Structure 1
């Protein structure tokens, strides 16, 4: 089987390539990323191509790369810079349209899109919902609204191209140990050292906090199963137990300071508006609006079950944050002091950064 992976250097992409190399050594993998890694640990099976999916030439280049593929797995996502809304939309929505259209033009029979449990409408916090729950997103979260808009793009595509099988993966919070540095890079200004997370005696958080989570390797396993079965439609993915405030505090070795989530949202908005923080309030709002995920469809149709539960995922990710863990990938690189200083000299606070 020939599989093309778009956006292969991120949290899910690295796990997916790792899983394919282990479980499907006979497959031919073409990995596409804006910045391919310097090292290729799967060189016998994986070929890399540098490509920016938002470039003017993306459609032309993808058409040649997609020819002969049995499946295209679209994982590309942009979280930063939060102030460059045009760029986020270009990656998170417009590129989905481009990839889908080129799949049809290149006669790719199967498109697998990485969506999110964040597409779901508020109104069922702490309660499991299945894939039929309204997917109108959380209005204050650009990530959520972009994911919802991307699924609307796929609705239109499926109606126009019924010959292409389309699957949508809707996981909860995805994490692995190597994602630790990337999370710190998103959340902290460049001048703030990573070691700060080792000194959090108090964690301000709403005690009602409860989010679904799933390990990157379990998402990768689901992707392989979707490809094997040429499955279509949406699939929720998450561990059976949500991540709660107590789990986060325990992992940071902190005491909980109960703060209503509305106050946390206001604090995040003030920090973002004053350019003291890169964290948009929408992330806080999303954390207190995303429901639990009923994964029955994935269990029945993919024979999928997570090997790691939600709280264990949180502990591993926070462990990676505390250890400044990373991988040989531009997206997942370690957040070293040299890296922070170079980034700050180049762009100032990360919240001021523009399109890379």
Structure 2
């Protein structure tokens, strides 16, 4: 890239929850000249500076086309990730793990100078819920019982090898907590509760009780705030991992406050048993292994992102959840296939 030119950025998974926010953040960044969004299906979105191309990272044999799209790129932001089907982990492995390997190979072949990868709190090994939050040095071996956490941890190992073999590429790994925005509400309802769960049931007058579970403490961040951290990581000479989360930590009391409900202690085994039965019957798409993982996720320290990226979330975790719940009730969405807005279906 010549000094007078702007950055050419390629974003995989550009039509999803994080991808749409990253594309819009880059649209507003004057140092970015163009964005190429890669997705399985082109969206109806038309952000300034952005073009679209269709690529299915799970398809072996599509590597030449992927390499072509990465030619002359100044940076690649790899966000593409598939949550479902949890009943067939070979499908998600092909898309998430082998798809990531294909992206990293293409980055190496095109000699792209910067790679920013969407890791997750789910990559971390189980950690403390009540002690000090963990830094980016906490082990990233995931939780073995859920495909999502296994795959996130495995891709971390793939990146370790990539960094060793390609030191000329600056690699950044973002490890956020749970990411929510109003436009992602319908997609996330479908992913975790099922296509036919009525979103309008998430009303305070219909939820008088919230289960208080042992280990139910987690961190939330508005997706647009995560996208701002991605933008900063692209533009600064930083490497390595960055934890991203907003305050306060979310627990049963926080959730009860959102619904004007009362927290009630419930045995973890009872909730897990009900979820496992619903998952086996294919009523609930979220696996019991993912439930186990959430109860074991460590809390994250975000000092490094605040210090080196000069990043601060603009919304609290409660504000992000309030916006998300508003979207669930109204069928909030966006003009992409993954984020299609629907109250049911």
TM range (shorter): over 0.9
The 8 Å contact of residues 248 and 315 in structure 1, kept in 2 or not, is answered as no
> SS of the counterpart of 1:121?
coil
Provide runs of 4+ in structure 1 moved above 6 Å: none
Q: Which residue of 2 aligns with 1:353?
A: none
Q: Which residue of 1 aligns with 2:4?
A: none
The 8 Å contact of residues 5 and 29 in structure 1, kept in 2 or not, is answered as yes
The 8 Å contact of residues 122 and 138 in structure 1, kept in 2 or not, is answered as yes
State which of 283, 286, 290 in structure 2 corresponds to 1:279: 286
Deviation at 1:83, TM superposition (A): 1.2
1:179 aligns with 2:184: yes
Q: CA RMSD in A?
A: 1.7
Deviation at 1:336, TM superposition (A): 4.5
Gaps of 5+ in 2: 1-6
> SS of the counterpart of 1:38?
coil
State which of 11, 16, 39 in structure 2 corresponds to 1:10: 16
The 8 Å contact of residues 215 and 296 in structure 2, kept in 1 or not, is answered as no
1:86 aligns with 2:84: no
- Structure 1 CA distance, aligned partners of 2:127 and 2:19? 31
The 8 Å contact of residues 184 and 194 in structure 1, kept in 2 or not, is answered as yes
> SS of the counterpart of 1:69?
coil
Aligned length: 336
- Structure 1 CA distance, aligned partners of 2:30 and 2:217? 35
> SS of the counterpart of 1:97?
helix
State which of 29, 34, 38 in structure 2 corresponds to 1:32: 38
- Structure 1 CA distance, aligned partners of 2:219 and 2:264? 22
1:98 aligns with 2:102: yes
- Structure 2 CA distance, aligned partners of 1:188 and 1:219? 24
- Structure 2 CA distance, aligned partners of 1:165 and 1:208? 36
- Structure 1 CA distance, aligned partners of 2:186 and 2:159? 32
Q: What TM-score does the superposition give when structure 2 sets the normalisation length?
A: 0.92
Q: Which residue of 2 aligns with 1:329?
A: 336
Deviations along 1:268-291, one digit per CA (max 9) or x if unpaired, are: 112112322212112211221111
What are the equivalent positions in structure 2 for 1:70-81 lying under 5 Å apart? 70-81=74-85
- Structure 2 CA distance, aligned partners of 1:206 and 1:125? 12
- Structure 1 CA distance, aligned partners of 2:273 and 2:83? 20
The 8 Å contact of residues 214 and 313 in structure 1, kept in 2 or not, is answered as yes
Q: What TM-score does the superposition give when structure 1 sets the normalisation length?
A: 0.90
> SS of the counterpart of 2:28?
helix
- Structure 2 CA distance, aligned partners of 1:157 and 1:195? 45
1:201 aligns with 2:205: no
Gaps of 5+ in 1: 341-356
Deviation at 1:264, TM superposition (A): 2.0
State which of 133, 142, 146 in structure 1 corresponds to 2:151: 146
1:239 aligns with 2:243: no
- Structure 1 CA distance, aligned partners of 2:113 and 2:98? 21
- Structure 2 CA distance, aligned partners of 1:196 and 1:88? 30
1:69 aligns with 2:84: no
State which of 203, 222, 226 in structure 1 corresponds to 2:233: 226
